[in-house]
């Protein structure tokens, strides 16, 4: 385990990892930031299909041993998933082209759960970021910035989580996320590695112009959506490993994200 961790530290040490964030696996708690994919996985209401798992084999074979296998199909953007820059920027990176340095990096967690509880259309502001920095220090280049709204408590109740679950209609969605001014500060001034959130989108639910997606994609900053367990991470000090299925030409994809948190 220690050998493996050394490899991870080496891989991400290209200027991003501070000494405090060199983690020893034996002294870390591993937190799962992904929801499981299944029949109740939440998708955008306009998604033509959802996650499907079809059984190909399950049981004892004629030769006497047990064998199980399935086939799966899923839209890229549903459940815990990655948004590749191409999702909102022509010529942006596709899923397999995203540098690993953007997906394995130190993370900070900006907590707006209280504000989101009072206003489900809350958008994190530039001031929220600056307030965080006043306490925890300036967000370093190459950091994965996670926004905690507390919304994963609604998962997988699509109506509570998205604000509306009318099939084929995305016009009445309502949930919190990043605001454009916060995104500009993080992406353009702080040069963060990625933006992640525990709601369905890095833009709030009522958005019709997807400004945060466009600001991030324009700088090849990927998005991590429908994350969970952000309440188990410290404001800073965790290392996030967010590796999507490596889809060639993908605009995103299913994502298994974990965090290593110092004990
Ligand atoms: Zn997406």
Query: Per-residue DSSP letters for 162-216?
Result: HS---TT--TT----EE-HHHHHIIIIIS--SEEEESSS-SB-TT-SS-HHHHHH
Q: How confident is the model at residue 13 (pLDDT cuts 50, 70, 90)?
A: very low
CA–centroid distance, residue 200 to ligand 1 (Å): 8
- Decide if pLDDT at 168 tops 80: yes
CA–centroid distance, residue 70 to ligand 1 (Å): 25
The rounded mean pLDDT for the chain is 93
Average pLDDT (148-172) is 96
**What would you report as the CA-atom Rg of the chain, rounded to the nearest whole angstrom?**
19
Helices assigned H by DSSP within the chain? 2-12, 113-118, 126-136, 158-162, 180-184, 211-218
pTM score of the predicted model: 0.91
Instruction: State residue 86's pLDDT score.
Output: 98
CA–centroid distance, residue 76 to ligand 1 (Å): 7
> Over the stretch 207-219, which tens digit does the pLDDT of each residue have?
999 999 999 999 9
CB 155 within 8 A of CB 42: yes
Instruction: State residue 24's pLDDT score.
Output: 78
Instruction: State residue 105's pLDDT score.
Output: 97
CA–centroid distance, residue 61 to ligand 1 (Å): 40
> Over the stretch 218-242, which tens digit does the pLDDT of each residue have?
999 999 999 999 999 999 999 999 9
Rounded Cα distance between 199 and 205, Å, is: 9
* Cα dihedral 175, 181, 85, 247 in deg (nearest 10): -40
CB atoms within 10 A of CB 109: 24
CB 210 within 8 A of CB 196: no
User: What sign for the dihedral angle of Cα 85, 91, 94, 100?
Assistant: negative
- Decide if pLDDT at 7 tops 90: no
Percent of the chain residues topping a pLDDT of 90: 90
Please give the sequence-ordered ranges of beta strands (E in DSSP) within 20-121, or none if there are none: 28-32, 52-60, 66-73, 81-83, 104-111
> Over the stretch 125-152, which tens digit does the pLDDT of each residue have?
999 999 999 999 999 999 999 999 999 9
Number of residues that make up the chain: 263
CA–centroid distance, residue 6 to ligand 1 (Å): 32
Rounded Cα distance between 207 and 132, Å, is: 24
CB 46 within 8 A of CB 190: no
Instruction: Give catalytic residue positions.
Output: 87
Instruction: State residue 14's pLDDT score.
Output: 39
> Over the stretch 185-204, which tens digit does the pLDDT of each residue have?
999 999 999 999 999 999 99
Percent of the chain residues topping a pLDDT of 70: 91
Angstrom distances, CA of residue 93 to CA of 14, 145, 215, 218, 223 = 21, 19, 14, 10, 12
CA–centroid distance, residue 127 to ligand 1 (Å): 26
> Over the stretch 18-63, which tens digit does the pLDDT of each residue have?
444 566 789 999 999 999 999 999 999 999 999 999 999 999 999 9
């Amino acid at each position: 385990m220690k050998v493996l961790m050394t490899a991870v530290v080496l891989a991400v040490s290209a200027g991003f990892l501070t000494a405090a964030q060199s983690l020893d696996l034996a002294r870390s708690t591993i937190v799962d930031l992904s929801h499981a994919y299944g029949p109740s996985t939440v998708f955008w209401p306009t998604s033509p299909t959802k996650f499907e798992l079809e059984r190909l084999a399950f049981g004892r074979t004629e030769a006497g041993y047990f064998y199980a296998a399935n086939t799966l199909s899923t839209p890229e953007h549903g459940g815990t998933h990655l948004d590749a820059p191409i999702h909102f920027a022509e010529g942006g990176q596709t899923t397999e082209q995203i540098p690993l340095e953007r997906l394995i990096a130190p993370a900070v967690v900006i907590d707006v759960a209280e504000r989101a509880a009072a206003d489900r259309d809350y958008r994190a502001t530039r001031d929220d970021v600056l307030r965080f920095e006043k306490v925890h220090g300036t967000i370093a280049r190459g950091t994965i910035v996670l926004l905690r709204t507390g919304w994963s408590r609604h998962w997988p109740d699509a109506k509570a989580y998205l604000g509306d679950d009318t099939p084929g209609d995305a016009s009445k969605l309502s949930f919190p996320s990043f605001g454009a001014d916060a995104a500009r500060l993080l992406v353009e001034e702080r040069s963060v590695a990625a933006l992640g959130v525990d709601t369905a989108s890095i833009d709030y639910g009522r958005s019709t112009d997807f400004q945060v997606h466009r600001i991030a994609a324009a700088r090849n900053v990927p998005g991590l959506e429908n994350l969970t367990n952000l309440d188990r991470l410290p404001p800073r000090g965790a290392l996030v490993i967010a590796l999507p299925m490596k889809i060639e030409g993908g605009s995103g994809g299913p994502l298994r994200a974990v965090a290593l948190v110092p004990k």
